[in-house]
């Protein structure tokens, strides 16, 4: 069962990241938000699977990855569920819109960046939990740990006010934001593919014997 959960969650994650990447250039916000929620929902079982297949000397790293993954998923689900409900239904006051509307680069955009900072920490510790047995595993471990570097940019950029919106709700940073997110998708899809391969090579029976 551990193997199947790891494989299925990786496959769903790959599809969700691909769907998210496809929606952004067309400004299909509804699709982007739905796929973002699916990414979060599939990411948590992925991290749990890494912990299940880590050896005993790496369990702490795996549990830490799961903890940060839970924080990430909680924040992201709140942010995008709000966009699909309160924001999408309209009727918000100008002040409420500045706070809740993700596209205004206000408080909920900052929450979103905080969520992805937690995701980056989660992948870093997941990389520490990987049992390297092949060249593909080495690539997976490296990609996961390098992804942890995004923690600093996701945490610091909102504090520096690099993303701003004008008073009418338009923003001058939208194209830059799309380019950054598309780059992230190109980076993260190989992680999903290598994760799928990693879990497929592991055995629940061997894990049980540990």
Residue among 14, 22, 20, 18 nearest 35 (CA): 20
Q: Is the pLDDT of residue 167 over 60?
A: no
0.85 cut: is pTM over it?
yes
Per-residue pLDDT, averaged over 92-119, amounts to 92
pLDDT for the residue numbered 210: 46
* pLDDT tens string 109-137: 999 999 999 999 999 999 999 999 999 99
Residue among 67, 170, 80 nearest 126 (CA): 67
Proportion of the chain above pLDDT 90, given as a percent: 76
Per-residue pLDDT, averaged over 132-145, amounts to 96
The model's confidence at residue 208, banded by pLDDT at 50, 70 and 90, is: very low
Residue with tokens 């880590």: 54
Tokens of 109: 């955009």
Q: Is the pLDDT of residue 166 over 70?
A: no
Cβ contacts of 188 within 8 Å, gap of 6 or more? 17, 147
Q: 45 with 81: CB under 8 angstroms?
A: no
* pLDDT tens string 13-64: 999 999 999 999 998 999 999 999 999 999 999 999 999 999 999 999 999 9
pLDDT for the residue numbered 21: 97
DSSP-derived secondary structure letter, 26: G
């Amino acid at each position: 069962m551990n193997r199947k959960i790891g494989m299925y969650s990786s496959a769903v994650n790959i599809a969700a990241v691909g769907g998210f990447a496809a929606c952004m250039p067309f400004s299909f916000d509804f699709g982007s938000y739905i796929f973002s929620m699916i990414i979060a929902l599939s990411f948590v079982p992925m991290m749990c699977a890494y912990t299940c297949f880590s050896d005993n000397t790496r369990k702490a790293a795996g549990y830490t990855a799961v903890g940060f993954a839970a924080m990430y998923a909680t924040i992201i689900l709140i942010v995008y569920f709000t966009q699909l409900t309160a924001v999408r239904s309209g009727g918000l006051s100008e002040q409420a819109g500045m706070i809740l509307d993700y596209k205004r680069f206000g408080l909920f955009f900052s929450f979103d960046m905080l969520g992805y900072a937690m995701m980056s920490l989660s992948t870093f510790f997941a990389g520490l939990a990987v049992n390297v047995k092949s060249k593909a595993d080495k690539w997976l471990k490296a990609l996961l740990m390098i992804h942890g570097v995004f923690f600093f940019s996701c945490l610091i950029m909102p504090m520096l006010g690099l993303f701003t919106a004008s008073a009418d709700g338009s923003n001058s940073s939208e194209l830059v934001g799309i380019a950054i997110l598309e780059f992230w998708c190109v980076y993260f899809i190989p992680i999903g593919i290598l994760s799928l391969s990693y879990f497929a090579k592991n055995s629940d029976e061997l894990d049980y014997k540990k």
